Amino acid sequence: MPSLIDLRRRIRSVKNMQQITKAMKMVSAAKLRRAQEQAIASRPYAGIMERVLRNVAAAARSTEETADLPLLQVREEKRIQLIVVSSDTGLAGAFNSNLFRMAQRFVDEHHAAELRIEAIGRKGRDYFRRRNFNLTGEHVGIVDKPKYHQAAEIADEMIRRYRDAETDAVYLAFNEFKSVMAPNLRLRKILPVELPENADLQIDYIYEQPPGELLRTLLPRYVELEIYRALLESISAYHAARMTAMDAASSNAGDVISDLTLTLNRVRQASITREIIEIVSGAAALG
Partner 1 sequence: MPDTFQLEVATPERLFIDEQVLQAELPGRNGQLGILAGHAPLLSALGPGVLSYTRYDRQQFLAIDGGFVEVFENHVRVLADHAEFSYDIDVAAARRELDEAHDALRSAQDAPASEAANHAIAKAQARLDAAARSSGETASS
* Interface of this chain with partner 1, residues 222 to 241, rule: CB under 8 A: 224-225, 228
Strand partners of residue 172 = 83, 188
Q: Which is nearer to partner 1, 45 or 106 (CB)?
A: 45
DSSP assignment, residue 233?
A: H
CA angle 163, 168, 169 (to 5 degrees): 100
Q: Note whether 55 binds partner 1 by CB under 8 A.
A: yes
**Considering CB under 8 A, how many residues would be counted as binding partner 1?**
29
Q: Note whether 206 binds partner 1 by CB under 8 A.
A: yes
Q: Note whether 56 binds partner 1 by CB under 8 A.
A: yes
Helix (H, G, I), strand (E, B) or coil at 264: helix
Strand order across the 114-120 sheet: 135-139, 114-120, 79-85, 169-176, 184-191
- The type of residue at 250 is S
Least separation in angstroms between CB 39 and partner 1: 11
Among 58, 97, 221, 263, binds partner 1 (CB under 8 A): 221
Segment near partner 1 (CB under 8 A), from 7-15, 46-54, 104-112, 123-131? 46-54
What residues contact 237, with CB distance under 8 A and at least 6 apart? Answer: 95, 175, 176, 177, 178, 183, 184
Segment near partner 1 (CB under 8 A), from 78-86, 162-170, 192-200, 216-224? 216-224
Least separation in angstroms between CB 180 and partner 1: 24
| Per-residue CA distances from 213 to 48, 60, 67, 156 (Å) | 18, 9, 12, 18
Strands 114-120 and 79-85: parallel
- CA atoms of 258 and 278, how far apart (whole Å): 30
Least separation in angstroms between CB 158 and partner 1: 17
Segment near partner 1 (CB under 8 A), from 10-18, 173-181, 214-222, 263-271? 214-222
Nearest by Cα to 167 from 57, 101, 66, 70 = 70
Q: Note whether 36 binds partner 1 by CB under 8 A.
A: no
Q: Note whether 164 binds partner 1 by CB under 8 A.
A: no
Q: Note whether 158 binds partner 1 by CB under 8 A.
A: no
Nearest by Cα to 144 from 35, 247, 63 = 35
- CA atoms of 224 and 204, how far apart (whole Å): 27
Segment near partner 1 (CB under 8 A), from 94-102, 186-194, 209-217, 250-258? 209-217
* Interface of this chain with partner 1, residues 120 to 149, rule: CB under 8 A: 147-148
Segment near partner 1 (CB under 8 A), from 13-21, 64-72, 185-193, 200-208? 200-208
| Site residues for partner 1 per CB under 8 A | 38, 41-42, 44-46, 48-49, 51-52, 55-56, 147-148, 203-209, 213-214, 217-218, 221, 224-225, 228
